[in-house]
Amino acid sequence: METVDLARLQFALTAGAHFLFVALTLGLATLVALIQTWATVTGSPVHLRMTRFWGQLYVINYAMGIVTGLVMEFQLALSWSGLTEYAGSVFGSALALETLVAFFIESTFLGLWIFGWGRLNRWVHLAVIWVVTLTAYASAFWVLVANGFLQNPVGHELVDGTLRLTDLGAMVANPAARVAFYHVLGGAMTTAAFVMAGVSAYHLRRRTAEHELFRKSLRVGVGLALPATLFTAAIGGIGFETLQPAKAAAWAGDTERLARMQAEMVAAHGPGDYLPPVGWVQGGAITMLAAFAIMFFIAGPSLLLMLIRPAVRGFRLWHWLLTAMIPLPFVAMLGGWIFREMGRQPWTVYRLLTTADAMSPVTGAQMGFSFAAFVTVFAVLVSVNYWLLARAARRGPEAVTLGDRPVEAPSPVLTF
């Protein structure tokens, strides 16, 4: 395998792993903040327990989002220094603003929310989770401004072989960024909705304790699933109109348009292969659309069933189906990303910098080392965390430690 292919695979695998966690974080943060608002305003004990249970899953998931995100930030400079050197002053500006405007505050306040439970005034504590949620949106927004620039570079000029930022406003208003932001936000809500519905359905099917808590949670999840799915699909439809011509041609499998794009690019940029891999583009898009279709057909009737009390309590086949749906939004997310990013190839910055030129001048051995290190550690992390997440979800609110005053477990003295 060529070094550049290894670098791409490394980026794809680590970004994919990161994104699985981010998607759920973004949606679940919103739901936790809403439920905590209800709990704080009404003082309802069941909503407080809901906040802690879903908050615990959110925190387990978030921790993985952070550690994989750390790698993402520095991987850009590690493996793709051609991009940083060429477009750092433009693309890097969006990343700089992401870290400072959004993530810095998000992370600081998340610490306050987790460890300040019972220590801060409850209204202040509520305000803290809202700050975490809104800065999470801001974080997603700036990352997608950076990504949108790669898809559709605007607001820059070329001086002495590197790009300069001339118009921050144009970069922020980039349709390739804005549409993606709303699409991802909708996808995150869909993910959180299906996770909440699926986990609640598991508990209702198993007839565990905390009936009331999971009935309410199921209604939140199912109630959100259909609007979130439709919103995401509607924005995605607009997104299809902002596709690069080559991506659109690859998606349509239109060989004539593809040939025309190739000829046009050769005329503009010199000889080379300028077409995205058609199979990947179509495969990604079809995966996303198929997952959407299934989610849509389940979410619609579920919204009606949710209104029937005996069904919420005891329609076990439906419960089982909702739980089985949990992986689908994640599949849709990854499919969508493959569609978006593969369709941009062979460009890193569309029509300005190719992926091959964006790569750092590193040896195959170096890339092999980082590939082995990242992929091994990430594989372990992802498996352990999904196992822990599933375990915490199965054990239910009884076992939640978030927001609890930890009691010192009687420890066997001097065992080690």
Partner 1 sequence: MEIFILAFFALGYLVLAGADIGVGMLLPYLGRSGAERRVVIAAIAPFFLGNEVWLVATGGVLAGLFPELESELITGHYSLVVVLLMSWVIRDTGLWLRGRLPDTGWQRWCDGAVVAGSWGLALSWGLLLGQVLTGIDGPLAVLPALVVAALFAAHGLAFAALRLRGEPHRRASMLSGGAGEARTFALTATAFAVVGVLVGLRLPLSAGTAGAVLVPVILALIPLLVAAQAWVWWTFRHRVTGPSYL
Phi, psi of 165 (to 5 degrees): -80, 120
Contacts of 9 (CB under 8 A, 6+ apart): 1, 371
Determine the length of the chain: 416
Residues binding partner 1: number (CB under 8 A): 74
Instruction: Give yes or no for residue 13 binding partner 1 (CB under 8 A).
Output: no
Using CB under 8 A, which of 50, 60, 285, 353 touches partner 1?
A: 60
Residues of this chain, 78-107, that bind partner 1 according to CB under 8 A: 78, 81, 84-85, 88-101, 103-105, 107
383 binds partner 1 (CB under 8 A): no
**How many other β-carbons are positioned within 10 Å of the β-carbon of residue 136?**
26
Count CB neighbours of 94 within 10 A: 23
Mapping DSSP onto H, E and C, the string for 393-409 reads: HHHCHHHCCCCCCCCCC
Position among 168, 290, 321, 331 found at the interface with partner 1 (CB under 8 A)? 168
Q: Which of residues 110 and 306 has its CB atom nearest to partner 1 in the complex?
A: 110
Residues 109-148 that bind partner 1 (CB under 8 A): 109-112, 114-117, 119-120
- Sequence-separated (6 or more) residues with CB below 8 Å from residue 300: 226
Minimum separation from the CB atom of position 247 to partner 1 (A): 26
| Dihedral sign from CA coordinates of 303, 21, 1, 146 | positive
Please tell me the distance from the alpha carbon of residue 27 to that of residue 327, in angstroms, as a whole number.
15
What minimum distance in Å lies between the beta carbon of 401 and partner 1?
6
- Binding partner 1 (rule: CB under 8 A), the pick from 165, 179, 224, 334 is 165
Question: Which residue lies nearer to partner 1 by CB, 42 or 99?
Answer: 99
What character string, x for contact with partner 1 (CB under 8 A) and - otherwise, covers 384-413? x---x---x--------xx-x-x-xx-xxx
73 binds partner 1 (CB under 8 A): yes
Could you list the beta-strand ranges (E) of 244-383.
Answer: 347-349, 353-354
Residue 358 in contact with partner 1, rule: CB under 8 A: no
Residues 349 and 150 sit within 8 Å (Cβ to Cβ): yes
Stated as kind and residue range, the H or E segment containing 339 is helix 327-342
Provide the token pair at 406. Answer: 């930890």
Q: Least separation, in Å, of the C-beta of 327 and partner 1? A: 22
Query: Between residues 63 and 173, which has the closer beta carbon with respect to partner 1?
Result: 63
Residue of 1, 70, 170, 308 that binds partner 1 (CB under 8 A)? 70
